[in-house]
Structure 1
Amino acid sequence: MITGGARGLGNEFCRAFVRSGCTQLAILDLKEEEAKDAADELVATACLNSDLAPTDFNIIGLGCDVSSERSVQKAFAETMDAFGRVDSVVASAGIVENYSAFDYPFDRIKRLYDINVHGAFFTAREAARNMIPQGGGSIVLVSSMSANIINIPQPQTPYNASKAAVKHMAASLAVEWAKKGVRVNTLCPGYMLTKLTKTILSHDQELKKTWESLTPMGRMGEPEDLAGAIVFLSSDASRFMTGSEIRVDGGYCII
């Protein structure tokens, strides 16, 4: 299961799973129609230039507002009805906004925390509730390099704090559930060239140059650069890892 899977990094995670052999997947996003469209497109892409047929896949799209505990519970119930179990969950749904601290409207701050922090917690908790009876599973909370550093030049204090909360949440839950067979790890991306980021930077090339100059590798990441890390953390390849963080940031956090 992947939340926020209809677009952006969440959708790239879906593609990474399918490319690695996953044939059963639940894609969650705020708008059910977009989640279902993403599921259909993923199956069609997987069948191109291959011997696979659409009937080889069971990929579903579900509407889910991660800021609502009831919505998350409903999505998990539908997933369990469809598959009977859930082995790996990626909490990828999140938002970012840039306001100075003095100008940040409270309703926007609340919305950001409801999605980024509460949404990650609701997702992880429901995942564990379903994983523990089956013997365990893997949960990956998508944080950010912003959990470790302060981004410049854009002001985004609530976002940075929300991602730091997600990182520490994962570590805390990892300890709480370690002996129950549920692993909880964190993936922390750096600056990634998603479609949304490309659109924003097309109007601000100087910001793009600044971000690249601050990254030791001298470039922003491609969404595909996260594929190996997300599959590793979600699979048994990382079976002795819990409470860990993988940063994929081109070296941004080391200077």
Structure 2
Amino acid sequence: MINKDFMNKLFDVKGKVALVTGATGALGKAVCIGYGLAGMKVMVTGRKEDTCKALCNELEAQGIECGYSTGDPAVEADVIKVVNDTVTKFGEINVLVTSAGYNKPQPIVEQELSTWKQIMDSDVQGTWLYCKYVGEQMIKQGKGGKVILVSSARSKMGMANYTGYCTAKGGIDLMAQSLACEWSAKYKINVNTINPTVFRSDLTEWMFDPASEVYKNFLKRLPIGRLGEPEDFVGPCIFLASSASDFMTGANIATDGGYWAN
């Protein structure tokens, strides 16, 4: 029934526990801050203790309840440790956001197999491992859950020198759809992706120069008329963590300024 109580709770995420991988990156940090200020408890994870601890301190300074645990998302033992640390600190996990990833664009004939495997391990294996062990925890809890996999607009559009990244992100889209079939009806766990285009980070800052030909050419493909900012992804992540998205699973959510439309 649509009433005042229903509407008040529709986007309410207060008290939920979120585990965010790649939390110290531009997108992961924005999601951590957004979730925390919306009243969620946030578990920060990444490879480096100093950056994870610094982010957790920054969140706590804003009144956000958080913790951190370090590990490589592509290493099974590390993932198990992070999941266990999250449950030990907060008692449960309600939301998973996998924003850890890696890319190294190169022509296929020049790229070493080891580099391609590094892309696949970081982007695909790491996502799969977190889905496996957080999913196991959510199933054990018996309360459902929300799983948000960070994919890319490149998951459905090829690009020269991107045989690793495009392949990896296409796999993440299909992973979400497969898990939706596996989990949603049986366990009430919704699994969706967000698919961003270029957004501002330390690695992409050079692309935001309005005088740059790269910037001008890229803007021709974006109907919204600008590149993405980290805060542009907080809204979709709140939506996918809330009951407002309860009837959505297996979806690939374009967070791309219209890139797929052009």
Give the TM-score taking structure 1 as reference length: 0.90
1:218 Cα offset (Å): 2.4
2:130 to 123, 128, 138: 123
Distance 2:110 2:234 in 1: 36
| Matched position secondary structure for 2:122 | helix
| Matched position secondary structure for 1:61 | strand
CA displacement 1:52-110 (0-9 Å, x = unmatched):
xx4xx431121120011111011001111111100001011001211111111111111
* Root mean square deviation, CA, Å: 1.7
1:149 Cα offset (Å): 1.3
Structure 2 residue 237 is matched with structure 1 residue 230: yes
Structure 1 counterpart of 2:56: 39
Aligned pairs (5 A) from 1:74-85: 74-85=81-92
Letter in 2 for 1:187: I
1:249 Cα offset (Å): 0.7
| Matched position secondary structure for 1:193 | coil
Give the TM-score taking structure 2 as reference length: 0.88
% same residue:
33
Structure 2 residue 198 is matched with structure 1 residue 186: no
Distance 1:236 1:111 in 2: 36
2:38 to 20, 25, 30: 20
- Is the 1:88–1:235 Cα contact (8 Å) retained in structure 2? no
1:209 to 198, 216, 221: 216
1:167 to 170, 173, 181: 173
- Is the 2:149–2:192 Cα contact (8 Å) retained in structure 1? yes
| Matched position secondary structure for 2:157 | coil
| Matched position secondary structure for 2:220 | helix
Structure 2 residue 261 is matched with structure 1 residue 254: yes
| Matched position secondary structure for 2:203 | helix
| Matched position secondary structure for 1:125 | helix
1:150 to 155, 158, 180: 158
| Matched position secondary structure for 2:204 | helix
Distance 2:75 2:102 in 1: 15
CA displacement 1:153-195 (0-9 Å, x = unmatched):
x621210110000010010011111111211111111111223
Letter in 2 for 1:104: Q
Gapped regions of structure 1 (runs ≥ 5): 47-53
- Is the 1:89–1:140 Cα contact (8 Å) retained in structure 2? yes
Gapped regions of structure 2 (runs ≥ 5): 1-18
Distance 1:88 1:219 in 2: 30
Structure 2 residue 23 is matched with structure 1 residue 5: yes
Structure 2 residue 112 is matched with structure 1 residue 95: no
Distance 2:65 2:245 in 1: 25
- Is the 2:208–2:227 Cα contact (8 Å) retained in structure 1? no
Letter in 1 for 2:173: K
Structure 1 counterpart of 2:5: none
Distance 1:12 1:236 in 2: 21
Structure 2 counterpart of 1:221: 228
